[in-house]
Amino acid sequence: MIVTCSYLSKSDSLGKFIWADVFPDKFEDYKYGFNSSFSIDNLQNIYRLSYNGILNDLDPGPDTFYLTNPIPFKINSAISKLNSDGNFLWAKKFISPKSNLIIAIENDNNDNIFIVGSFRDTINFGTEANQIIYTSDNLFDNNYTTKLDKNGNHIWSYIIKNRTNLYNKIICDSSDNLHYIGTYKEKQILIIVWIVFIYRPIQKYL
């Protein structure tokens, strides 16, 4: 059995260990999850982004909190919130039937949450009972920014339908403006060159 563990740890300003949370993942059961990014709000609460398989326990303590994945053999993304001591508070998943990346997270002055990522086909930023569905452009991955309140409730989402653009990080400034860095590809023109071989008869001189 192969067990890979994700972890989250805290140290003081001198690097001295304070605490750590461990999230064990079992690859052979396709129940795995791993860290993507995290942020800390004004109250020192911690927001962890992760990828999750069919069944993952997002509570690192003695209790359990499972986010089931309704799509077999498909990885989806999730956000979970811990307090400053690493204790579990809540978790939420984002379900997409196709590609689904959760890349970076940031908090504003009011502890609202901004998440950037990409998806293909559709993605649900709500819950299974109260779905908030967004659709991508054609068959390509589209970028998203979604805003949640500190309890994980959806406020708004914005989709960029560009198949070559990818967010890498998001930063919120003191005025709550959002700044992004990312990568994109310029338009590429495929030129097919046909090479015509002209065969000339070879005269043989006797």
Query: How many distinct structural domains can be found in the chain?
Result: 1
Identify whether 199 is part of a domain.
no
Query: pLDDT tens digits, residue range 65-81?
Result: 887 776 666 677 899 99
Query: pLDDT tens digits, residue range 2-54?
Result: 556 778 899 999 999 999 988 766 544 444 567 889 999 999 999 999 887 66
Domain that holds residue 119: 3-183
Identify whether 205 is part of a domain.
no
Tokens 């997270």, residue? 105
Our measurement of the distance from residue 76's CA atom to the centroid of its chain's CA atoms, rounded to an integer in Å, reads 8
The per-residue pLDDT of the chain, averaged, comes to: 81
* Burial annotation 121-157 (CB, 10 A radius, 16+ → b, else e): eebbbeeeeeeeebebeeeebbbbbbbbebebebeeb
Query: pLDDT tens digits, residue range 164-198?
Result: 678 889 999 999 999 999 887 765 454 444 444 44
Query: Do residues 111 and 43 lie in contact, with contact meaning Cβ atoms separated by under 8 Å?
Result: yes
**pTM for the model:** 0.81
Specify the amino acid at residue 112.
N
Identify whether 202 is part of a domain.
no
Identify whether 116 is part of a domain.
yes
- State which H helix or E strand residue 2 sits in: none
**Among 32, 40, 183, residue whose Cα is nearest residue 105:** 40
Identify whether 159 is part of a domain.
yes
Identify whether 196 is part of a domain.
no
Identify whether 201 is part of a domain.
no
Q: How far apart are CA 195 and CA 55, in angstroms?
A: 56
Distance (Å) of CA 55 to CA 5, 78, 191: 15, 12, 47
Identify whether 189 is part of a domain.
no
Q: Per the structure block, which two tokens stand in for 38?
A: 């995290």
Residue 199 has pLDDT above 50, yes or no: no
